[in-house]
Every structure is written in structure tokens, then in C-alpha cells.
Structure 1
Amino acid sequence: MRPPVLDSLFAPVSTLPGVGPKIAKLLTDFLASQPDREATIADLLFHIPHTVIDRRHRPGIAYSENGDIVTLDVTIDRHMPGPRGGRAPYRITAFDDTGSITFVFFHSRRDWLEKTFPEGERRIVSGKVEWFNERPQMVHPDYSLAPDEADAMPQVEPVYPMTAGLSPKTLQKAMAAALDKLPELPEWLNDAHLRQNQWPSFKEALTALHRPEERLDISPESLFFQRLAYDELLASQLALSLVRSKMRQLGGISRKPSGSLQRRVVGVLPFSLTRSQASAVEDINADLAEPTRMLRLLQGDVGSGKTVVALAALAQVIETGAQGALMAPTEILARQHFASMSPICEKVGIRLALLTGKDTAKERRITQEKLDAGEIDLVVGTHALFQGKVTFKDLALVVVDEQHRFGVHQRLALSAKGQGVDVLVMTATPIPRTLVLTCFGDMDVSRLTDKPAGRKPITTVSVSLDRLDEIIGRIGAAIADGQKVYWVCPLVEESEKIDLAAVEDRHRVLEQELRQRVSLVHGRMSADEKDAAMQDFKSGQTRVLVATTVIEVGVDVPDATIIVIEHAERFGLAQLHQLRGRVGRGDKASSCVLLYKGPLGETAGARLNIMRQTNDGFLIAEEDLKLRGGGEILGTRQSGTPGFRIARAEEHADLMEVARDDARLILETDPELSTERGSALRTLLYLFGRDEAIRLLRAG
């Protein structure tokens, strides 16, 4: 049950005065934390201003700089309406002791202007000054008030990130009404911690961010911002710790086979394990031998050999007579894992099966019967297959590929498919340390840092789209030389139709220019069509594959040596790095061409520079964090970093570590959150939408 003290914050925004159905819908589309529910007052209050306007700046007309926002104490001189029906603006002149200024209005009602700017009277007017032909003017001032009403104008005005259709005034009015509903909440931080940091209460901190008195009040380093960021990080770390302790209580099974099957798997590989692969296998073996459940994150850059480590881990549990499962985010990837594991499994006697959405009902039934009978040791498939009716005789280990497309709750659902199921999660998205704590605070981490032997570094160049013909010419020469090429087109957010047109257009141009058949893969194609196109490219029937970002993860064509990424300026760093990892998988030198449309913005320029300078995914991830902030690090917004609304991974990394330790200590001393502070912490979890964790407490 949500604590009643939070009821006012969880009321829908439409209960605020002045927020009708239209504004409520805009706010919901923009701010709602739950996709299927109207935005709440808490959603609104957690929308933090990103800058302020200081309306205390009163230099006088003559001393107002071009582009400055100023507040002027003026006398209104005269009104000069434009000719009727004409397009000319309506002008009003005014003066003070230092000079005169013109206020300019387009499409405004004359009666309103005459009332708001009465001739011959004093007015306090605030807005942006622009000098035009050496004369100052102000287009549509923000405020015009009689001197005795001037207090109604905020001295320091917060400015919020906005959405189309919502005016700043409307948002500020709603925000003021929401602040009036903010209750005094029980204090969930301990006194010593509060005193040491000199932090205010939650209510004081949130009020100060929405009603700042100085520009510094809303900076991420301010005491107000730090207090709220810490609250949010603590809620996240506490929820992760609760999930983890629940997983531990559910008990695991100690699995200590002789290791002979694992040694056979490693023995049939055409190469020996790298140092970090061998150490990851040791970590996993040690976890499996413990009577608690394993929850381990295997982080490895593109092409660092995670699948081999996973197979070695699966061999350990299969040797004990239990079963394993490998989940991939897409069907292309599931098929690829199956294809790469088949020859090894065949040699060592592991019975492998593939479960995909394309299987006929009969094929699925046969696979299911074999799983129930224990005649399949290892099954590979996509997430969807493990959420439904699939059952196992004795599932012991689940390997989840590309964790960031997959959340804590699905992990819990999966673990319910067997007794004491161990979980190994793999990601090729190198995640900076701070974010590992954020998203995977409930996991142990192994990192693969070496590249397998024989891999050549990839040469990266950036080239303007103006030189497209030259690049196509070079691609032609490379193909004639026997090379294979990926050509990636970006997603153009506005509409899938445009994307499709762009990709199909590029495909047609390349077929014409290169005078040969070119493969095409995009999200709107059926699985069969995608498979056929990939197969043609793999087998060499086509030498060029044009694709949208569906090839981002895990597509493996070792003899592809060139990737061209069109409109590289539109991609995030992590995604560029993932795409580049599609080449350089064989023993030939490879290259990546970043085609950009100039002029480049500062951030886009910095991204392309980093790509040219390094192939190190972990370094790239740290840089990406600096450039973009934490929320977006793993690609798009839905990607599973807990989308923090206040805390910023790059600014509050030190607070993250403290919150993690604090959460551990809390659960050691008060595992059921039953003390007075525990009860306040439950309020915190509800407040930040981490109430799933409280259900775990109850389930226990």
C-alpha cells in the first residue's frame, strides 16, 4: 500500500487548477513516468528547470546590451498600429531617463495592448532587447505590469525544457499549483549524513529548485540539487539491493562438476582463450559452485569473445545433467548464436536446439516435448519465447545477451522457470563504471578487455557527404579486389516512410553505380526476407549490404572489411562503436568511413573525433557519458538505464557510490525496512516509482 502522505503527489495533473484535458494530455505525453497513466503531480515536480532568467537586471534603456533580458521602468509614449489588413507590426514607443525604446507586436489585439500599455502611464516591462539600426526594440515583452503589481513578476525565473504546444506561462502556473500540494515527508536520511552535507529537507530542496533565488541554486553542484539527486540514487540502489537479496534468499544450487565438459569445449576451439576470457570463466565457475544464485554481468567490447565464455559456463551446468538457455534480443542474433555454437556442441556432445517465432506449431511442440524430457541440453531463442509457455525439465543457467534491452523484472520471471536458476548477462555496450552501478548495481561484473589474437585494429576516417561519388568509386574498387562492404543508413525519426525511402534510395543508387546486385535489410522486412538478404551477403552472392541499424548488434560476417556509416553525425557514440564492430572480425585490415553532412555541431564533431582516435570501447563509453549524460548512454531512452529524472550520472558519480554503500548498510541492519527509518525509506521507494522492490519484501 502506498503511504497516504504521498496521495497528493500521485494525484493526476488534471486535478490542478487551470489544467484542463488538453494541457493534461500535453503534460502526460511529455512527462508521465507510467506509459499508460496520466502524468502525476510528482511527475510534474520532478521536471527540473535547466536555467534561469534573472529579471533583477535593470540597466536603463540606453545601457541595455543587444540580446540581453532586461527589466525597464518606462513611461508609455504612444501607440502606432500598422495599417489595417496589412502585415506591418503594431508598435508602441516608451522612454526612461536614458533614452527611448519601441515595443513590437505581431497579430496582437489592439484593445488588449491599449489596456496593458496605457499611454502616459508608468509600466515595469521585462523582455529581450535587440538593437536594430542603432535603436533598441523589444519584440513581445514577457511582462508589462503597473508599478504596484511589479511584485507579481518573479525576480529569478526558472526556465524548463519544453514541449510543442505548451507555453512557459502555462507550465509555470501548473508548477506553482503543484508546489502548493507538496507535503512534509518523513526524513529517510540519517541525521549525521544530513548534517555532514548540510543538506536541506526534501521539501525545501524541491521548492528551491522551482523557486530559485540565484542562478547557482539550480546547478547540479548546489546543495538543493545534490540532496534530490542523492534521494533518487538511493531509491534506485535500495531497489536493486532488495532484488539482489531476494534472489539470494530464494537460494541457489551449488554446481561443482569435474569440469571435463568445459575443458572439452575450450579444447575444440580453433584458438586459446585470452587472459580476460580465462579469468571470466574462473569467476563464473566460482559463482556456480556457491549455494547462492549467480547474477553476473559479462561486459565485453565488440568482438571480445563473450559467446565463448557463455558456452564454457553453460558446459559446467550441462555436465551436472541440468539445462541451459541463451536469450538473444533479435531473431537474426539468435540464429547466429545457434550457427556459431552448433559445430562446437556437435563435437563435444551437447544437444542444442533453436526456438524462434518462425517455428511451426508442430516444430514447437516437438522441441517442447524434448525440453520436458531433458533431451535438449541447451536452447537458444529470443526473449519472447521465454516469457510464455516454454517449460524445462531442469533449467540451471540462463545467459541473457544484450542486457540493456531487458529489465530486472524479466530476469525474475525467467528465474522462475527452474530451481535456483543462475543468470549470466552479457553486453557488448561498454558501460562506464558509474553506470554499471546504476543499472546493474545488483550484479557482480566481469570485463573482457583483450581482443582475440589475430584481430587487426580498424582504421576510421570521416568524410563529408559532398564526396559521396568518390566514396562509391572506392567501394567499387574494393569489391573488385574481393572485399565485402556494409553501408548503414540512419533512422530519420520523423517517419518510418522517410527511413524506408532513404534506405531504398541508397540501395538503388549503389546498384546502378556499382552495376551489380546489392543486398538490402531494414526493419519493415519479414524475418525470411532479412535472412535471405543476410545469407546472400554471407555467402558472397552479393558483396554490399545496405541496412538500417538492425545490423547494430552481433551480425557476424568475418570477411566484411569496410563499413560506411551515412549521416554519422546523427548517431550516438555507443551506437557508432557498435556498428564499427561489424568489421575487423577476421584477419584482414578493416576500415570504417563516417560520412557526415556539414557543418558539424560541437558535440557531433567531438564524437567523430573520438571515433577516429580510438578503438577502445570502454574509453569511448566514458567519453560518451561526458558528451551526452547518463540517460541516453545505451542508445535510446527506453534502453533500460533507469531513466533518472534528477540525478545525472556524469555530475553525481560520487553520490552514486555513497548511495550504494548506504543501501547495503540499510538492508544489513533493517532487511524488512520495518524500523521508523525503514518506513520512511518505503515512502522514498514509492516516491521514485521503485515500488516493485517493496512487493518483493511482501512476497518474502
Structure 2
Amino acid sequence: MRPEILTPLYQSVQVLPKIGPKLAGLLGRLTRGTDGDEARVIDLLFHRPYSLIDRQRQPGAANAVDGEIATFELHIDQHMAPPPGNKRLPYRVTGHDRTGEMDLVFFHAHAAYLEKTLPVGEIRYVSGTVEWFRNIPQMVHPDHIVSAEDFAVMPLVEPVYPMTGGLSRKVFGRAVSFAVDLVPKLPEWLDKTVLEPRNWPEFQQALIQLHNPKALSDLEPTSPHHSRLAYDELLATQLALAITRQKMKKQKGVSREFSGNTGRKIIAALPFSLTHSQTTAIAQIQADLRKPERMLRLLQGDVGSGKTLVGLMAMADVVEAGFQAGFMAPTELLARQHFQTMQPLCAAAGLRIAILTGKDKQSHRKAVIAGLEAGEIDILVGTHALFQESVAFRDLALIVVDEQHRFGVHQRLALSAKGIAVDVLVMTATPIPRTLVLTYFGDMDVSKLMEKPAGRQPIDTRSVSQERIDDVITGLQRALANGQKAYWVCPLVEEAEILELTSAEERFAALKSVFGDGIGLVHGRMTPAEKDAAMASFKSGETRILVATTVIEVGVDVPDATIMVVEHAERFGLSQLHQLRGRVGRSTGKSSCILLYKAPLGETAKARLNILRETEDGFRIAEEDLRLRGEGEVLGVRQSGAPTFRIADLQVHADLLEMARKEARLILQRDPDMQTQRGRDLRILLYLFGLDEAIRYLKAG
């Protein structure tokens, strides 16, 4: 049970004034990265500001600088509504101060509302961005219009947060300020020896300071309040991993006995031979499976290095030993793709394989669940549907998890609970630097697949300015006439108000006018059936261009697709661009990747695109990405919507991570069941960061 003191933080944001279901959903998309889930109060509290708006400048109308944010004390002179029937013209309100005149401009205005808000003859304070037009300063839709009394209490320094389409800065800022008021005073779980030398505030105070910055220095991740919260988050994560490790050590493993014959049948059915890395990884996994200890191994392999086959070989060994195996993919699309890849190989080796996803018909579900319980299914492939309580294995021995960062520690624990001493093999196509392996996976054993299958050619990677998009489209027309297929990736699904980025839907419409019906669209807001249909059309060649968002980033396999266009490449992380590029170059034909960017490029964006042109080595790219961007993007989780660190930044807080790891171990050495007063306080910390699964481990002993 979550401690009662945290209840206010785990309520839906609908408890906050003026937040209804629609806004709660938008806030959920922004803070939790998921569609359909409402945000909770705590999600707003952990959504960090990244910049400031300073409204302290009051230069006077005549001295206002074009493009700058400033505040003015205006005497309201006149309202000028547009002529009836001409809605394209704006509504104007004129005013003046001691230095000169200023116009306030409103489009699609409600006259009655503006007359009430800006009464003629009265003084109003307005704040917003100034634009000069026909030698008069004007402000289009001011951010604030307040009376003198309200101005006296209005904060003149405002935090700026990452936003999503359909949500205004003002609405979000108001919601956060109400959320901060709900933070209870919590017991102190940190030791004085950690707090005092660093001048860290208590947790509640740190959150208040995070959302009320007074100067740019308050936004620095090294500031005392930010460091405090980062350490709390790192300590919670390290404590959860340490508890999980402690639990795993307490549970004895099972030695699996097998000859390897089933695996040899799979290899005999392959049209290619294994790489040296694959052979090594298979041998390491077989050694783990034969030991009477639980396997917890991370298999890292670059895009196209053949991880799925290594996973299948491990499952074949376990089935030969008389057990069952589960293979879990992050999306339905990938689960079906893995199933189709494995099915013929399983048939050749006499393995019974089935698939279970969230959208299966009830009759199929019942048949699969019954077959699983009866032991008539050896390998079950699926999505998070495998977690459901109704899914019971007769004798589960191994779980292979594809793209682990799309699943939290929670899901890993839930799946392990479906069998006795279940071995776990985690696979990721994102080469992860050592720091992150330790942070996210604890002390896991690691196998790496370093080579690509024989015959793969390097991908010709070029960066091209957005201004030359017509040349790119002309080149595509030539390539398609020669029978090639292409992906075109955009960063957004629909036009966002704030970012001027081409959305997938808009680009799809523009390209359709050139290419006609030979073009498909796939994005995260479509239903699984719609996504599957779009992918199937592209795979079969019915459509030859697929416009997509990053839903195609991981694992989508269309070997005859040879061109990848990434629009607004400067908006993507290095590892993510590398993943996207890995969708092509999957056969022996020549492939190319075009990175369209909007000039001028910042230094980081320039460095990112240069590295991609220089190398296809995923491990080098991951290290560079960690240096340039930070841990969330390296694992791909920021874009995929899975939770990563919300406060901590591993580049800045690496020393705190080391400190947290040592402290977590010390805490459990002194108080293995966390029953002391400090142990109980630390349990609150685990609940606070959503790591309550670890507490269930403590209770289960």
C-alpha cells in the first residue's frame, strides 16, 4: 500500500482548478509520454523547466526593442473592431504610456471580453513580445493583461517548460503552481552527512525552488535544489536495483540440461552462417543456462547484427531441457514481425511457437492460454499482454525481452514471477555505454554482437539543407522508377502550434500529390490494425514510400527498402538517427540515408550529423550521443515515451550516481528489510519515484 502521505501527489490532475479530462489527457501525453493516460499531480512536479522568461524589463513604448519580451504600463485609449464580415483583419486596442503609443492586436477576438479586460480610460499592465509595425510598437496577443493590484503580485520571472501541441504555456504554468501547493512535508530520508556539506534543501523546498526559478543559475542542474532532487531519484533507482539483486541472489537458479541438437537444427535451416560474435554470445548464454544460478544477461547488438537469432537459440536450448520460453517485444508490430521470422526456423527444429498480443480475438486468446498451460506451446511471442494474470505458463524457464528500455524494471519483475527461477535475457539494438548499463540494468552480464551479417554494404549517409527538398523529391522519383522503396520520417504526427516542423500527416499529403497512391502513412496515434495494414502494404510493395514518425525506429524489417529520408534531422538524437538509418541497408543492395536539416544548425546538431556521416559503429555513436545529449536520448526512451530519469542528468550527475550506488548497498547491508525508521522513510522515496515493485520484493522476503 502506498503511504497515505503521498496520496495528494498520485491524484489525477483533474483535482487542480480548471483542469478537465481533455487537459488531463494532454498533460499526460506531455509528462508521461503516453496517449490516453491522464497526468497525475506528481507528473507535473517532475516536469522540469528548461528556461526563463524575464518580464522585469519596462522600457516604455517608444524604447521597446523589436522581438524582445517586455512589460508596459498602458493607458487604454480606444478599441477598433474590424469591419463586419471581414474576420481576417485583427481587432486593435490602442494605448499609450509616458513615452509614446502602442497597439495591442487580437485575431478572432471576442469584443465583449476585450472591452471588459481592457476598459477604455483605465491603466492596464501588459506583457509579451514586441513587434514594430509601420513605426508603431505593437503586441500580438499579449501573454498577460492585468490591473495594477494584480501586477503587484504577478511573478515577473516565469519558468519555461517543454510543451506539446494543444497546450498553452499559461495553462501549464498555472497547473504547476497549484500542483506545488499540494506537496506535503515529507520525512527526511537523506543522511545529514550527505545534506549539510552540500547545502541541499529538504525535498519539499527543493521542488518549490525547481518551479520558481529567480535567475538562470536556478535552472542549472548543479544548483543545490536540482542536485538534491537528482540524488533522490538516483538513490531510489539504485536502491530498487539493489533490492532486486538481493532478491535474485536469494532465489536459487535451476541448471538446464540440453545437448544443443534443437539449436543445431535451427542453424542448419539458416541461409547464412553465424558471425563470430553470435557464436560467442550463444556459448556464453548456454554456459549461464547450465549453471544452477539465475541468468540475467544483457545482449547488446547494433542494428541488423542478428540478436533475434541468438535469443531464439537460447529459447531452443531451454525447450530442449523440458521447459517453456517467452519472447517479449515492445510493440504489436514488432511482436508479429519476430513471430514471422522465427516461425519457419521453429518449424525446422520441431518447436511449437505461438503469438499473443492485446488485439487478438477472444477465441485465439483462449486457445493460446489453454495450450500454454497444458504445455502444448514451447515458445510464446507477445507484447505486454504476456503480463496479464490470465496468462499462465506450465513451466516458464526463460524470458527474452527485446528492447528492454521500453519496459521498466516493473515489467521485468512481473514476468519473472510467472515461473520459478526464471532466467532473463534482455536484448537491445541501442549500444549502451557502460555507465548506462550499470544505471539501468544493475550488475548484469553483458554480451555484445559486434559484426553485421556478411554481404551488407555501408549506407551512403548525406546531410542536405531543407531548402533542397525539391531535389530530394526528384531523386526519389528516379529511385522509385527503378523499383526502390523509401521511408520518409517526420518528427511530429500533426502540426504543433509552437514548433515549425513538418508533421507526418502534412508531409504525407504533400508527397501524395507527387506520388499518388503509392504512398503509405504510419504513426503512433493510429490503431495497431491501421499500423499493421500500412506496414503490410509497404512490405508487399503495394506502397513504395512510407511516411512515418519514429514508430519505425526499432526492429521494423523491410529488406528491400533502400532509402531513408529523415526530415528535421537536427531534432533527433544521434542514437535515434542511427536506429532510423538501420531500417535500410538490410540486404546486399546499395542503400542511402538523407538527413534533411533546417539551417542554421547549432554546434551540437552539426556535430551529430557529422558523426553519422563518418561512422556506422553504433558503440561509438552511443558514446558520442551520451556526451552530446544525455542518457534519456541514448536509450531512445525520451522519444519512445518510456520513463527515463526525470530530474537527474547522467552527464552532470555521474558523481551522484556513484555516491547513490554505494549508499544503496550500505543501506541494505545495515537494514536488509528496511524496517528501521530510516528504512521506512526510504520506502516513501521508492513510492515517490514509482519503484514500489521493489518494496513488494522486500515484503516477499
CA shift in 2, pair 1:571/1:689, >3 Å = same
- Whole-Å Cα distance in 2 between the matches of residues 85 and 509 of structure 1? 40
The match for 1:89 is: 92
Cα deviations by residue, 1:3-29 (Å, 9 ceiling, x for unpaired)? 34434544565656xx1454x863563
CA shift in 2, pair 1:583/1:90, >3 Å = closer
> TM-score normalised to the size of structure 1?
0.78
Please tell me whether the aligned partners of residues 564 and 584 of structure 2 are also in contact (alpha carbons under 8 angstroms): no
Cα deviations by residue, 1:42-76 (Å, 9 ceiling, x for unpaired)? 4443343332234555667776644444567x7x7
Give 1:321 shift.
2.9
- Whole-Å Cα distance in 1 between the matches of residues 51 and 409 of structure 2? 34
Please tell me whether the aligned partners of residues 322 and 395 of structure 1 are also in contact (alpha carbons under 8 angstroms): yes
Please tell me whether the aligned partners of residues 69 and 130 of structure 2 are also in contact (alpha carbons under 8 angstroms): yes
The SS at the match of 1:465 is helix
- Whole-Å Cα distance in 1 between the matches of residues 545 and 93 of structure 2? 59
Match of 1:475 among 479, 488, 494: 479
- Whole-Å Cα distance in 1 between the matches of residues 669 and 270 of structure 2? 44
- Whole-Å Cα distance in 2 between the matches of residues 129 and 194 of structure 1? 45
CA shift in 2, pair 1:452/1:657, >3 Å = farther
- Whole-Å Cα distance in 2 between the matches of residues 201 and 189 of structure 1? 9
Please tell me whether the aligned partners of residues 456 and 586 of structure 2 are also in contact (alpha carbons under 8 angstroms): yes
Match of 2:77 among 60, 75, 80: 80
- Whole-Å Cα distance in 1 between the matches of residues 448 and 428 of structure 2? 10
- Whole-Å Cα distance in 2 between the matches of residues 590 and 385 of structure 1? 39
- Whole-Å Cα distance in 1 between the matches of residues 612 and 597 of structure 2? 16
- Whole-Å Cα distance in 2 between the matches of residues 378 and 415 of structure 1? 15
The match for 2:500 is: none
Give 1:427 shift.
1.9
CA shift in 2, pair 1:502/1:677, >3 Å = same
- Whole-Å Cα distance in 2 between the matches of residues 177 and 205 of structure 1? 16
More deviation, 403-412/212-221: 403-412
CA RMSD of aligned residues (A): 4.6
- Whole-Å Cα distance in 2 between the matches of residues 2 and 363 of structure 1? 37
Give 1:94 shift.
2.0
Q: How many residue pairs were aligned?
A: 668
Matches within 5 A, 1:359-378: 377-378=378-379
Give 1:636 shift.
6.8
More deviation, 324-333/227-236: 324-333
Matches within 5 A, 1:661-672: 661-672=662-673
The match for 1:188 is: 189
The match for 1:430 is: 431
Matches within 5 A, 1:380-399: 380=381, 383-384=384-385, 387=388, 389=390, 391-399=392-400
Please tell me whether the aligned partners of residues 521 and 533 of structure 1 are also in contact (alpha carbons under 8 angstroms): no
Please tell me whether the aligned partners of residues 489 and 566 of structure 2 are also in contact (alpha carbons under 8 angstroms): yes
Cα deviations by residue, 1:558-584 (Å, 9 ceiling, x for unpaired)? 5x3722436464766545433432333
Q: Is 1:465 aligned to residue 469 of structure 2? A: yes
Matches within 5 A, 1:79-118: 79-82=76-79, 89-95=92-98, 99-100=99-100, 102=102, 104=104, 106=106, 109=114, 113=118, 117-118=122-123
Please tell me whether the aligned partners of residues 208 and 224 of structure 1 are also in contact (alpha carbons under 8 angstroms): yes
Q: Is 1:421 aligned to residue 422 of structure 2? A: yes
The match for 2:86 is: none
CA shift in 2, pair 1:157/1:265, >3 Å = closer
The match for 1:655 is: 656
The SS at the match of 1:423 is strand
Please tell me whether the aligned partners of residues 350 and 377 of structure 1 are also in contact (alpha carbons under 8 angstroms): no
CA shift in 2, pair 1:196/1:616, >3 Å = farther
The match for 1:515 is: none
Cα deviations by residue, 1:267-322 (Å, 9 ceiling, x for unpaired)? 87666654543443344234324433222221211111213322332344344333
CA shift in 2, pair 1:460/1:174, >3 Å = closer
Q: Is 1:209 aligned to residue 195 of structure 2? A: no
Please tell me whether the aligned partners of residues 439 and 642 of structure 1 are also in contact (alpha carbons under 8 angstroms): no
Q: Is 1:615 aligned to residue 616 of structure 2? A: yes
- Whole-Å Cα distance in 2 between the matches of residues 154 and 363 of structure 1? 59
Larger Rg: 1
- Whole-Å Cα distance in 2 between the matches of residues 296 and 67 of structure 1? 54
- Whole-Å Cα distance in 2 between the matches of residues 377 and 272 of structure 1? 25
Give 1:552 shift.
4.8
Please tell me whether the aligned partners of residues 439 and 640 of structure 1 are also in contact (alpha carbons under 8 angstroms): no
Please tell me whether the aligned partners of residues 92 and 103 of structure 2 are also in contact (alpha carbons under 8 angstroms): no
More deviation, 614-623/269-278: 269-278
Give 1:681 shift.
0.8
Q: Is 1:580 aligned to residue 584 of structure 2? A: no
The match for 2:682 is: 681
Cα deviations by residue, 1:497-551 (Å, 9 ceiling, x for unpaired)? x968976986796589xxxxx69685776799679757745xxxx8957574676
Q: Is 1:306 aligned to residue 297 of structure 2? A: no
CA shift in 2, pair 1:224/1:311, >3 Å = same
Matches within 5 A, 1:172-183: 175-183=176-184
The match for 2:457 is: 456
- Whole-Å Cα distance in 1 between the matches of residues 174 and 586 of structure 2? 57
Please tell me the residue identity of whatever aligns with 2:92: P
CA shift in 2, pair 1:263/1:58, >3 Å = same
Matches within 5 A, 1:1-80: 1-10=1-10, 19-20=17-18, 22=20, 26=23, 29-30=26-27, 39-57=39-57, 65-70=65-70, 79-80=76-77
Matches within 5 A, 1:498-647: 510=515, 533=537, 536=540, 544=544, 546=546, 548=548, 552-556=553-557, 560=560, 562-565=562-565, 567=567, 569=569, 573-586=574-587, 588-594=588-594, 596=596, 602=602, 608-624=609-625, 630-631=631-632, 639=640, 641-647=642-648
More deviation, 321-330/355-364: 355-364
Please tell me whether the aligned partners of residues 568 and 598 of structure 2 are also in contact (alpha carbons under 8 angstroms): no
CA shift in 2, pair 1:10/1:258, >3 Å = closer
- Whole-Å Cα distance in 2 between the matches of residues 461 and 198 of structure 1? 49
The SS at the match of 1:351 is coil
Please tell me the residue identity of whatever aligns with 1:355: I
Please tell me the residue identity of whatever aligns with 1:466: D
Alignment identity in percent?
49
Please tell me the residue identity of whatever aligns with 2:475: I
- Whole-Å Cα distance in 1 between the matches of residues 44 and 219 of structure 2? 16
- Whole-Å Cα distance in 2 between the matches of residues 656 and 306 of structure 1? 30
CA shift in 2, pair 1:475/1:29, >3 Å = closer
Q: Is 1:355 aligned to residue 359 of structure 2? A: no
The SS at the match of 2:299 is strand
Please tell me whether the aligned partners of residues 298 and 426 of structure 2 are also in contact (alpha carbons under 8 angstroms): yes
Please tell me whether the aligned partners of residues 568 and 576 of structure 1 are also in contact (alpha carbons under 8 angstroms): no
- Whole-Å Cα distance in 1 between the matches of residues 267 and 394 of structure 2? 26
Cα deviations by residue, 1:380-411 (Å, 9 ceiling, x for unpaired)? 45553674655444322122223344343433
- Whole-Å Cα distance in 2 between the matches of residues 170 and 359 of structure 1? 40
Give 1:324 shift.
2.9
Give 1:634 shift.
5.2
Q: Is 1:200 aligned to residue 201 of structure 2? A: yes
More deviation, 125-134/153-162: 125-134
Please tell me whether the aligned partners of residues 116 and 144 of structure 1 are also in contact (alpha carbons under 8 angstroms): no
- Whole-Å Cα distance in 2 between the matches of residues 346 and 109 of structure 1? 72
Give 1:137 shift.
6.1
Please tell me whether the aligned partners of residues 354 and 377 of structure 2 are also in contact (alpha carbons under 8 angstroms): no
Please tell me the residue identity of whatever aligns with 1:296: R
Unaligned runs of 5+ in 1: 513-517
- Whole-Å Cα distance in 2 between the matches of residues 535 and 124 of structure 1? 59
The SS at the match of 2:53 is strand
The match for 1:237 is: 238
- Whole-Å Cα distance in 1 between the matches of residues 117 and 538 of structure 2? 66
- Whole-Å Cα distance in 2 between the matches of residues 333 and 49 of structure 1? 35
Please tell me the residue identity of whatever aligns with 2:303: V
- Whole-Å Cα distance in 2 between the matches of residues 207 and 359 of structure 1? 47
